[in-house]
Structures are given as C-alpha cells and as structure tokens.
Amino acid sequence: MEIPSKYDPKRVEEYWYAYWSEHKYFSSKPDEREPYTIVIPPPNVTGVLHMGHMLNNTIQDVLIRRARLLGKNACWVPGMDHASIATEAKVVAKLKAEGIDKSKLSRDEFLKHAWDWTNEYGGVILQQLKKLGCSCDWDRTKFTMDDDMSASVIKVFVDLYNKGLIYRGYRMVNWDPEAKTTLSDEEVIYEERQGNLYYLSYDIEGSDEKVTIATTRPETILGDTAICINPNDERYRHLRGKKAIVPICDRVIPIIEDEYVDVEFGTGCLKVTPAHDENDKNLGEKHNLEVVDIFNEDATLNSFGLHYEGKDRFVVRKEISKELEEKGYLVKTEQHINKVGTSERTKAVIEPRLSDQWFLKMENLAKPALEGVLETKDVKLYPSKFDNTYRHWMENIRDWNISRQLWWGQQIPAYYYGDGKEDFVVAETPEEALKLAQSKNPDIQQSDLRQDSDVLDTWFSSWLWPISVFGGILEPDNDEVNYYYPTSDLVTGPDILFFWVARMIMAGYEYRGERPFENVYLTGLVRDKQRRKMSKSLGNSPDALKLIEDFGADGVRVGLLLSSAAGNDLLFDEVLCQQGANFANKIWNAFRLVKGWEVADFPQPEAAQKGVEWYKAKFNQTLVEIEDHFSKYRISDALMATYKLVWDDFCSWLLEIIKPEYQKPIDQKTYNEVLGLFEENLKLLHPFMPFLTEEVWQHIADRSPEEALIVSQWPKAQEVDAALIADFDFASEIISGVRTIRKEKNIPQKDALELFMLNTEGISSQMDAIILKLGNLSKMETIDSSLDGALTFRVKSNEYFIPMSGAIDVEAEIAKITEELNYTKGFLKSVEKKLSNERFVSNAPEKVVAMERKKAADAEAKIETLEKSLASLK
C-alpha cells in the first residue's frame, strides 16, 4: 500500500472501524480464556455525547483494548437507560408542541408515543461512541426497558416484597413539581440561596394579645394547623392552652408545647404545617393535628389557597407577603440564607409532600455492601479517598423511595382488589395476581384488579445491570452469567457512587452472593480551564463530535487522558487535543521517515547496534512502569510514560542514532530491528490511539485478519539492563552539552568538532560511537589537564573541552562568561548567607537544608568551570 504523505484521521477512522466490525473483533462468547468484562454505565436514551461520556468511555476502551491484547476474552457490554423523568419530559414536550395534552391520553396511548420517540431519537449516543473508537460488543446492546430487563426488575420487586423488604407507606416525600413525581433523598441537591425571613403576627383568640412567628415560606400559613412553643420558654408561658388565629384564612389553631422548638431561632415560636414540612409532620402526628395540604401536584395552590388558587407558590409568596403587610400582619422582613432542596434532574425546587409511596428497606442490604468495600476489600475503589464518602452514605442509609408518579418505566406489579389501602397483592403477572387475590376473596375476577399506576425509580432497574445484562436474574445459573460475572472493572463518575455503584454492590451480594465487579475507577468531573463545570448554560461545553472532526478521535482521546487523573477533576482545554493530534502526526511522520529509507546489505554500524540495544532496555524499563500505572488505574500516567517513550526515546533519540547519512542507505539488520521496535511501540499505543496504530501496523506489512493489531499480543517485559540505560543517559548529557555549544556559538551541525575529556574515570566507552555520530565529532580523546583556548561544559564531575580555533569571537565570549561568572558568584553568596544562619539550619526541614547545600556545591563547581574557561580564552 502506498503511504499517504499526511495522516487523514477521518478516512482512517471510518475504514478501520468498519474493518474491526466486519471481522467481529469486538464480539465475545464464553470460552476457555480468562474473561475480562466491563458493563457500560448506560447513558440516558435521551442523551447525546458530552465531555463526561467521552472521558468515561475512552478509559473503558483503553482497558478493554489492553485486555484483548493480553489475550483475555474481552467483553464490553453497551446499552442505554430508559431515564424515566428525562424521557417522559421530552415526550410530554413533543406532544405539547403537537397540541396534545398528556392528561387527555390513556396510559397505553402515551406509552406508544414514548416508544415511537425512543425508537426515532433514542440511542444516538451509541452511534456517537463508535466515532470515538469504542470497541463494545454491539450485538449485546441492552436497554433497561427491553422485555427481559423489565421482567428482571419485576421479578426482583416481587422477591423483595415477599422477603418483607418492600413496603407501602404514607410518608413525607421529596416532590418534584415540574416532573410531577417523587424523588429519592439522593436525587435532591441542596443549594444555599438568599431568601427572606418573614416575621408574622397571629392574633390570640379572645384577647388583644398577639404572637409573632418567623417563617421563610409565608405562603404556607394557609396550611398552618398549630403554633408550637417550647415548654421551658418563660416568654410564652402565658400562652399555654390558648388558641391563635391564622392571618387571612382566619383558621383557629391550638398553641401546643414541645421541646423540639429552638428558642434561639426566629422568635422562638413555630408555625406548624404538617402537610409541607417533615419536622412539622412529626409534630403533627405526635400532637394529633389536622393536615391541610394547600398545593396541587405542580406546586400551584389548591382551594385551601383561597383567592390564590391556581397561582404558583413563588408568585403567591410575593403576593401574600404584600397582603400581610397591607393588613398589618407583617412585622418585619430580614434577609436569610437557607438550604433549598432542588431536583437533580429538573432543577425545580423540591416540595415536601405527604403521599402513599413504595419503599425498600436498606439497612440489611447495605451491611454486606459496606463490608465488601471497606473491610474485605472485595470491591476496590480508585482512588481510595472515596472510601470515606462511601462509608458515610452507607452508614447513614435511609429507606429508598422506589415509586415514581410517571408512566414511562416498569409499572409496579401491585394489584388492588378493594377500596382499602391494604387490599392489594404483589405478583409478576396479572394471572398470578388473580390467583393471590382469589385466595383472599374467591369471587374476585380479573376485571376487578387494578394495577398500581406508579412506575419504579429508574435506578431500580440499573442497580441490576451487571447481572441482568447476562440474564442472571431470570436464569441465575445460565452459562453467560456464570462466565462473565462478576465483571472486572467499572468506570464511572463519583457523582453516582451512591445512586448506582453502591446499589449495584448491594444487588450483587443479594442476588449472586458476590461482588458485581472487582475494581471501580472513579473519573473526575470535566471542567473548563477556569475550573467551571461544563454546562450548556455557561456555553463552555465543546461539541464532542466537532472535536473528533477537528483533531481526530485519537487526538481527542489523548487530549482527554493527558488532562485526567483518577478522581481529580479534569481541566479540559482544546490545546490538549491539538497536542494529541500533533502526537499522531509525529508517529505518522516517523513511520514515513523509516519506510522512506533505502535499504542495503552491509554490516550494522556500531552506533546503530548500541542504539537498538539501549532502546530495547529503555522499552522494557518503561513497560514495567506502564504495567505498574495500569495496576493502580493511573491511566493518564500510563499514557504519559508511553508518550515520552515514543516521542523522546524513539523519535528524538533512536531514529537520530540509526538515521543513515544524507542520500545513503540503511543496513538491513538495523532497518528490520527498528520496524520490529516500531511494532512493539504500536502495541503499547493501541489502547490509547487505536485508529492510527492499526493504520501504521497494516502499512508495515501485509497482514491477514488474524494478524490485525487489535488482536495481536501485548509485549512481555524482559529483564531491564539498568547499566546500559545509565550509560546512555550520561552519553545523552554529553551530546546535549556539545549541541548547546553549537547553538550558542552558531556552529553548523555539518562542521565537525573535536571533544577532549578530563577525568573519565568510571565512565563506559560503549556509547562513544553514538556520541561521535550525534555530536558530529571528528575525534574524542582523554586528556590529563585542562585545555587552553577551548570552550568547556560539565557533566556531573567530568569536564569536557571543545577547541575553538577561530570559530568564535573571543572578546564577546570573554564578556559573556564574565557576566555569567559574576551572577553565579552572587547566587553562591546568597546561598552561603542562608546556610550561615544558625536559625535557618536548625529550624528548616532537613530536605530544604540539603537542597541549599547542593545549590552551593553546584554553584562552586560551575564557578570553577567558568574560571577555567575564562583562563583558557585569555
């Protein structure tokens, strides 16, 4: 194949992704190999690719491609989450735009619209992941609303109900008035907001007395059913047993006593609204108070709101505070910061609401999951700093509200057969429900059964994901789940550590008796370079597909990983994608350079032989380092080590060492060895840059599908020759010293120089051929004493001389060295002054003092060299 002059990511990506798909390299079936399994965190079916997905899925693909190269049976299961709240909101908005009101539709009619929308618009994100190079087993794609996935959810609900872990309760719940559904505690985000504290005056019945209470929500006075005072508060002792009159609605309410009241907050008097506050509800139950709910499901006021009926709660807050002021009930207003609960999904302010809901008891489910992560380390979190977050959540776990007032999702399998709240049965099918109901009342017919209209929380399906994608709930002993489960690694964000990760661990121990995965890699959140979270509203979230178009998928993958460390927020900058694209071009150009050389049959030069030996040692040393990074899930560090190996050691050093002279050929042995080393580099690079590496690999030689890079073999680390690496490091410093002098004196590379060395004791001569070639030296000799009329440099304790005979302006050189000498002497003086200060030496950390002493020693050595250079020029 002809090698194009420029690397064309678009052409290469389309070609190789189609090739990989055609040859089923991503496909996995149980066999005798060790499985390596990842289940994708299923993105919302409504989702499109954003920076968080790009990072998360790049990391997963790196891990899966490396596992494939390691010879494991790599299985990456893709899929999507039905996302009840988000999807229902999208469908309702679409219907509204078409002039259709959801409330006018039957459940079945609405679900038809929802499935039509899902089939038309859903799953875009999975196609976009292919552009990124994700090597998922697409034949295994699952959706949380697939028939078998839904059947798994229903089966688990029935099982947990029968175990006494699921119950129906009348509780104060978090109500999202925009989505018109309840939320679990974990789906509520608390924000500090500036509000007001309103001081309101209530008349005492049958007297001229008044009592003042403070509230942040004056609109809720219409639901007040008591005023509460602390029995130990002397100020209000005279109000015992009396009644107050609620302003505007004139409801007469009792004044009750309870030590719950904080005498320090506000006025020390508390208005009690049992329908709209968790603590007030508890007081209401304790004191047998009336419950007056003033809100509709969309947080507008109902008939108890009197003349405010139909108006939004925040509109009413403004209007009622004005009316209270006009009528003389508003005593004063103060600014007040309080924590407001908002919906994680819709951002609406949450309304506490009393409602019949389904709950799952969590305490016993949490115990093995807590132990598995923190005690037995059966599941390991990376980075481990998240262990404490996990512990806090699991030790303070509350029962999970699993019902949602939506239609899109798995409908709760509870069937009512009477008017009482307890007249229901729970079963997997209507037929089974009928049998259960008839055991209580033989006259019941199928038509008498009414299924609960709520659906289950989306997380109640995704907590089963690592089991249900392999059919492990419906068929607990099938071949697939026995082979692939527990899975190997999970890559996700710390923001869903409790929502999803902890719950999957609980489900794993409950339904398989073992962990769902071994390692959890928690990525950071993607932020912009100003540390702001990426968001549409800030306009700082780049178009993921546009980035791939501009920089190539490999460039974007490298850019993301260069800015990402486990668990630390990623500060994304497009410049890093440019760096990734530049790296791809560097590799491409290096390949073209090597393939462009003419090859001839003659003995291998010594420099090339030593260069190849050194690079093999360096490769093995870096491979050990890369393996260590992967074992600790330091994926970015593994990439950086690979990047430096290829860019610095291979391209900048080895190719320079072996490069033939202008218009001359390279020997066959070196050429073959360098192509072999190039192939080893490609194996290390492939998980990070799959497209470019496959393209170069296939250009190196004609390959059969079985010989494709994607299914080749990860390099095996050999013994590292540390002495050889150390010798080269020393030689490279000598070469850099020569190059620096050439640069400073404007001496062309083509002009050969001589190099004389003083004090070469203990220095190996095995790299001399490389030094001669890269320094373009006509000779290298050892001398016993300093050389006059020469420029000098030092490498460690050794001194090197380059005679200058007429090559430089001596006067200018003397002036330059004198200036540098004076600066270095001044620097040494300041360091010595610090070291002569007894307080500094006694109190500063040992490391700091040692560093200052090293600075002094280095400065003294430099002064000695500069003075010798000066003397040799005079």
pLDDT value, residue 536: 62
Distance CA 711, CA 717 (A): 19
Q: What is the pTM of this model?
A: 0.83
pLDDT value, residue 705: 96
For residue 383, is the peptide bond before it cis, meaning its omega torsion is within 30 degrees of 0?
A: yes
pLDDT value, residue 491: 96
Distance CA 165, CA 171 (A): 16
Distance CA 105, CA 94 (A): 14
Please, which pLDDT band fits residue 45 given cuts at 50, 70 and 90? confident
> How crowded is residue 70: how many other Cβ atoms within 10 Å of its Cβ?
13
> Which is higher by pLDDT, 90 or 528?
90
Tokens for 147, please give them: 């028939």
Distance CA 347, CA 537 (A): 13
pLDDT value, residue 824: 94
Angle between helices 9-22 and 690-700 (to 10 degrees): 80
Least confident of 119-128, 359-368, 585-594, 622-631: 119-128
Collapsing DSSP to helix, strand or coil, 521 comes out as: strand
Is the model's pLDDT at 859 over the cut of 70? yes
Instruction: Give CA angle at 238 (233, 243), nearest 5°.
Output: 105
Please, which pLDDT band fits residue 188 given cuts at 50, 70 and 90? confident
Please, which pLDDT band fits residue 122 given cuts at 50, 70 and 90? confident
pLDDT value, residue 807: 59
Distance CA 773, CA 775 (A): 6
Cross-strand pairs, 167: 359
**Are 563 and 640 within 8 A, CB to CB?**
no
Is the model's pLDDT at 550 over the cut of 70? yes
pLDDT tens across 709-741, in order? 999 999 999 999 999 999 999 999 999 999 999
Q: Are strands 73-77 and 35-39 parallel, antiparallel or unpaired?
A: parallel
pLDDT value, residue 228: 93
In one-letter notation, the amino acid at residue 130 is K
Distances (CA, A) of 796 to 97, 721, 723: 76, 22, 17
**Are 174 and 182 within 8 A, CB to CB?**
yes
**Are 26 and 138 within 8 A, CB to CB?**
yes
Tokens for 144, please give them: 């949380």
Is the model's pLDDT at 689 over the cut of 90? yes
pLDDT value, residue 68: 98
> How crowded is residue 716: how many other Cβ atoms within 10 Å of its Cβ?
7
Q: Are strands 455-456 and 424-426 parallel, antiparallel or unpaired?
A: unpaired
In one-letter notation, the amino acid at residue 152 is S
pLDDT value, residue 264: 83
> Which is higher by pLDDT, 519 or 92?
519
Arithmetic mean of pLDDT, 358-368: 96
Is the model's pLDDT at 212 over the cut of 80? yes
Arithmetic mean of pLDDT, 310-327: 94
pLDDT value, residue 1: 65
Q: Are strands 599-600 and 210-215 parallel, antiparallel or unpaired?
A: unpaired
**Are 411 and 451 within 8 A, CB to CB?**
yes
pLDDT value, residue 537: 64
pLDDT value, residue 746: 76
Please, which pLDDT band fits residue 46 given cuts at 50, 70 and 90? confident
Distance CA 322, CA 817 (A): 82
Is the model's pLDDT at 28 over the cut of 70? yes
pLDDT value, residue 51: 86
pLDDT, averaged across the chain: 92
Arithmetic mean of pLDDT, 53-64: 95
Closest CA to 738 of 815, 692, 803, 826: 803
Task: Indicate left, alpha or beta for 718 from its phi (over 0: left) and psi (-120 to 50: alpha).
Answer: beta
Distance CA 457, CA 83 (A): 9
Least confident of 125-134, 264-273, 678-687: 264-273
pLDDT value, residue 59: 96
**Are 276 and 305 within 8 A, CB to CB?**
no
Arithmetic mean of pLDDT, 33-54: 90
DSSP secondary structure of 524-584? PPEEETTSPBP-TTTT----HHHHHHHH-HHHHHHHHHHT-BTTBPEEE-HHHHHHHHHHH
Is the model's pLDDT at 742 over the cut of 60? yes
**Are 357 and 177 within 8 A, CB to CB?**
no
> Which is higher by pLDDT, 531 or 738?
738
Is the model's pLDDT at 64 over the cut of 80? yes
pLDDT value, residue 868: 79
Contacts of 670-673 spanning 24+ positions with Cβ under 8 A: 670/604, 670/605, 670/608, 670/609, 670/612, 671/594, 671/597, 671/599, 673/612
pLDDT tens across 559-599, in order? 999 886 655 788 888 899 999 999 999 999 999 999 999 99
Distance CA 202, CA 248 (A): 10
In one-letter notation, the amino acid at residue 559 is G
